Amino acid sequence: MPADFLCTDEFRFIVINDPHYENEQCGAYLTAAFEQMKRGPEFDFMLTCGDLATAGRAEELAGYKTATQVLGRPSYVVMGNHDWLTDSDRGPWIETFGEQTINYRFEHKGWTFLALDSTMGTEWERVRMQPEAMAWLEAALADIPRTRPLVCFTHTPMGEGVELRLVDAETVLARFSGHNLRHLFCGHFHGNTERKIGVTTFTTCACLSHSRGNHDDTTKKGYLLCTAQDGEIACEFVPFVPGD
């Protein structure tokens, strides 16, 4: 593997999913969670795996965006089904975050991060990857060296056997064949799951939401503190303790 793909620089990042911002109480809850993150180990950025909002309204999305500013670090987002206003209208998302956040990529210390839109409007079950997202993914992968370690984050689960899994997950994952996909972070299912296929780890996390509960009957909300080093990623679930 070429030296520039060894990724020897260690760094940390945080992953959350399904905050479901609804009102100012949600904003206060999330602000407290972000303050807890800042008191923990140093990290470089945060990923949010969809459902930032509850009903896709502009005020919900703007409220979430405002709450993230307390982090003082980059916050990368991807759409969830609750981030659509209607099945055909995601105007508030585009107005708040920009059209460039539908599908995009960024580089960090030798890693490539892919933000992949896996939504089908407001549909929440039996979701399939839409042609526009699949075409973007194929074009992005064609431009990325196969040895470069990749992280993908999206909303709909792709881990084997995970509830609410993308119907055509296997077709999507086949596009990564020959590439160095190390981790795929997903939301939609509110609960901690981990699956592994080859070198790829698939995770979902308990939601970090004031207005919604977990789907697996657990009560702890929280986030993943992820450490990248030597081409590997290790994740630790950190419970959020309000008022701590």
Q: Do the bridges between strand 232-239 and strand 149-153 make them parallel or antiparallel, or are there none, so unpaired? A: unpaired
Q: Domain residues of the chain, as ranges?
A: 3-234
Q: Tell whether the model's pLDDT for residue 198 goes beyond 50.
A: yes
**pLDDT tens per residue, range 218-242:** 999 999 999 999 999 999 999 999 9
**pLDDT tens per residue, range 62-103:** 999 999 999 999 999 999 999 999 999 999 999 999 999 999
Kindly give the residue spans of alpha helices, DSSP state H, lying in 9-130: 24-39, 58-68, 91-97
Q: 56 near 27, Cβ under 8 Å?
A: no
The domain at 3-234 falls in which architecture?
4-Layer Sandwich (3.60)
For residues 20 and 54, what is the distance between their CA atoms, to the nearest angstrom? 5
Report the C-alpha dihedral over residues 244, 233, 153, 21, rounded to 10 degrees.
0
